[in-house]
Structure 1
């Protein structure tokens, strides 16, 4: 562990937590603040370990934030500048759409799938659960008879 492993807390400059524990420290440090101080502090939208005052947030994002926020800063500049009017685009043709012969809204004429009826004429072992003992015994007897008939075919 070296001195470089420690970072300065953005909320309280006297705190020096380990770099890996900064997230946990910030949660505890924010709990210790009173309500007036909490109202003044804002978390950076690009890195939650950056906590700055609300008045300095825009300056922090533009100049001091070490995260890769250049794309976002350019987007913010575009939002601040007035956009030019889009004259002449009102008469533009609508985008081309591909025509399709299939009608996906039509439902096919297919009956519902009934697995027990589908297995009646095949050598498939079926079981029954959740029934009384007498019903299970009768089901097994009928299954043995069904298997014998299918083997004879």
Structure 2
């Protein structure tokens, strides 16, 4: 297994500490308990940036992660294309014919229907269906 030797960063609590960037967050938690009186402030743009209080204002102006926040904070307005409304001769809401009724269609054509309901209604339905089918013969 090959180790990553190129991506080291320096700890803000102790300059002698060199840590992999991927392990920096865990290291800062441990190092914070060893240096409880260190006067460092967390950057609001990146919690891994711990800056001395004297340099905090300067860091806020020049933080490298500031561009990420400003990119999403100040989004340009979307430009919409303006076009003239298109006049249409059709209106699908105004129908000249009536609505489709499947029950009417089934009664007037040779379509087999299944009886539904209690036994007495099913028996009556079968009797009506026999009479309806005799009309087609």
Q: TM-score range by the shorter chain?
A: 0.3 to 0.5
More strand by share: 2
Larger Cα-atom Rg: 2
Q: Structure 2 length normalisation: TM-score?
A: 0.46
